[in-house]
A = this chain, B = another copy of it.
Amino acid sequence: MMNIKDIARLAGVSASTVSRVVNGKKYVKPEIRERVLDLVRENGYVPNNAARSMVLKRTFTVGIVVPDAFNMFQRQLFSAIERKLEGYGYGTRFFLVKAEPESEKACLGRLKAEMLDGVIMLLEVDDPEFYAVIADSGLPVVLCTFGRADLGLPSVHIDEEAAAKAATAHLIGLGHERIGLLAGAQFSFGKQRQAGYEAALREARIPVMAGRVVVVPSYTAEAGRMGMKELLGREADLTAIFAVTDELAVGAIRALYEAGRPVPDAMSVLGFDDIDISASLSPSLSTVRQPIAEIGTEAAEIIYRLISGVPAETDPIILPYTLLARETTKRREGRDRNGNMA
């Protein structure tokens, strides 16, 4: 692999001159610039980033912390961030964290070792020390899809509780009263969405019954299927289900399918996130759309500003969600909650 000295020797100039050419600096005679550029091309010379970042103290790289088993939602979010950052001349680097404390610790170490210019967290790490260490290392950081206003860290996300409340209200508006919930304990959105569900019920004066709620261990389709089976077993008269993620909803629909209960005729199902596949399902999944592209773009902009030295705005950026009433939710048949025919 060629290095800057090789090119310098070939061009009969000093390494500094090559550096100037490669970095587009002024004060290089045009003919020399040409000569060097030709050599660079011919030899496929690319500056060594490690050496470069050592002297510059910058890597032009932003770390993206994601869960080990990141889903399509995070995948899409990442794309939006990547695209925006690329426009600013920054690259990205993945840091995968498993749902284990040691993994979070290890990630912190890797984050430090890489001399990143900034970090975007797509994963809500449990360990409060994690944020503390990052914060007082002075490394710019943005929380993306969740907030921690208490930590004074900038964040971009939707109003999870309001969105879940609106989602549940949609179901209620369709005449449903006995609404099951597939919730999750992992990450704060799990609890926030559950709170929104409860708030909507309360507002409609529908009793919140623990028997209608299942807290699943992970946000996968399989977990959704198991959760739905559980719900079906203990509570036979539900007419609608709110699953706190689309993957969960897909699994719930599967359980319903296996039980011979067609969606949406026998049961309405509502998801959350609007992952790629949701619109293409048959029937298409009703869900709450998070503005993925906007969230990603906004997070990228904030991190860029932070890196550029603009002081952090710690008020969370709350972006609007959209309720997508597609085909898995429908008006409840039979009597409505007042005993009249729908």
Q: Which residues of A contact B (CB under 8 A)?
A: 1, 44, 46-51, 53-54, 59, 68-70, 72, 75, 79, 82, 91-94, 96, 109-110, 112-115, 133, 137, 221-222, 224-225, 247, 250-251, 253-254, 256-257, 263, 276-277, 279-284
Contacts and interface: CB of A to CB of B under 8 A. Distances in A.
Contact of A50 (B44, B53, B221, B225): B53
A257 B263 CA distance: 14
A68 B79 contact: yes
A96 B82 contact: yes
Contact of A94 (B68, B94, B263): B94
Chain A interface main SS type: helix
Contacts of A253: 282
A282 B251 CA distance: 9
Given A46-B113, A112-B46, A257 B282 contact: yes
A280 to B, nearest CB: 4
Nearest to A251: B280
Contacts of A284: 254
Nearest to A74: B75
Contact of A221 (B53, B133, B256, B276): B276
Q: Which 3 interchain pairs have the tightest Cβ spacing?
A: A257-B282, A221-B280, A50-B50
